Amino acid sequence: MKMNEVLYNAAAIADRVQELAKELDVAFDGSSIVAVVALKGAMPFAMDLIRSMKTPIAVELIRAKSYLGRESTGEVEFSLLPEGDLTGKTVLVIEDILDTGRTARAIYGALLIQNPQRVHVVTLLDKPARREVEFQPDWVGFSIENVFVVGYGLDYDEAYRQLPDIRVLEL
């Protein structure tokens, strides 16, 4: 295994997060939202993002485990769901990365049944070429090629989440 080049350094990530924060503030126009942070990968992104936003934000957490590979269906299980009532709320799901799209679609579905007014999705990274189920996020930080990346929350077997940059991992 070899740690390859830095794809986005900490400064580039910070710049893009600031841009996204501004775009989101404009979109929500001062009305309050509930941010649902997808654990664990989206933690650094979510905290940097919401800290830069002026929109009033309540924070909830969701934890989805994807079992792609074990089952051909690629089932998604939840080990943590939002505790607050989402009825009538404007929800913003904050994701680390969209790959096949299964996790994001499952999260979207799990939140929709709580009758929110709307569910929006922002993801730091998107790998559109890898999509296996239809899913279109509302905001994307960086759209990337089909490479495996680590750092800034993203892991390989729980390692590398603490890296300040996003790097390509050659497996």
The reply to whether 148 sits near ligand IMP by the rule CB under 6 A is yes
DSSP-derived secondary structure letter, 108: H
Contact 129, 72 (CB under 8 A): no
* Catalytic residue list contains 99: yes
Tell whether residue 154 is a contact of ligand IMP (CB under 6 A). Answer: yes
Separation of alpha carbons 102 and 26, rounded Å: 29
Q: CB burial class (10 A; 0-12, 13-18, 19+) of residue 8?
A: buried
- d(C-alpha 75, C-alpha 66), whole Å: 6
Residue 167 contact among ligand IMP, Mg ion, none, beta carbon within 5 to 8 Å by kind: none
Residue 98 touches which of ligand IMP, Mg ion, none (CB < 5 to 8 A by kind)? ligand IMP
Q: Which of residues 108-147 bind ligand IMP (CB under 6 A)?
A: none
CA gap 169, 166 in Å, rounded: 10
138: partner contacted, choices Mg ion, ligand IMP, none (Cβ within 5-8 A by kind) = none
Q: How many CB atoms lie within 10 A of CB 42?
A: 26
Query: Binding mask 106-145 vs Mg ion (x if CB under 5 A, - otherwise)?
Result: ----------------------------------------
Q: By CB under 6 A, tell whether 101 contacts ligand IMP.
A: yes
Least distance from C-beta 52 to ligand IMP, angstroms?
A: 22
Does position 98 interact with ligand IMP (CB under 6 A)? The reply is yes
Nearer to ligand IMP, 28 or 62 (CB): 62
Place of tokens 């800034």: 152
Cβ contact 123:137 at 8 Å? yes
Q: Which residues bind ligand IMP (CB under 6 A)?
A: 41, 66, 96-104, 148-150, 154
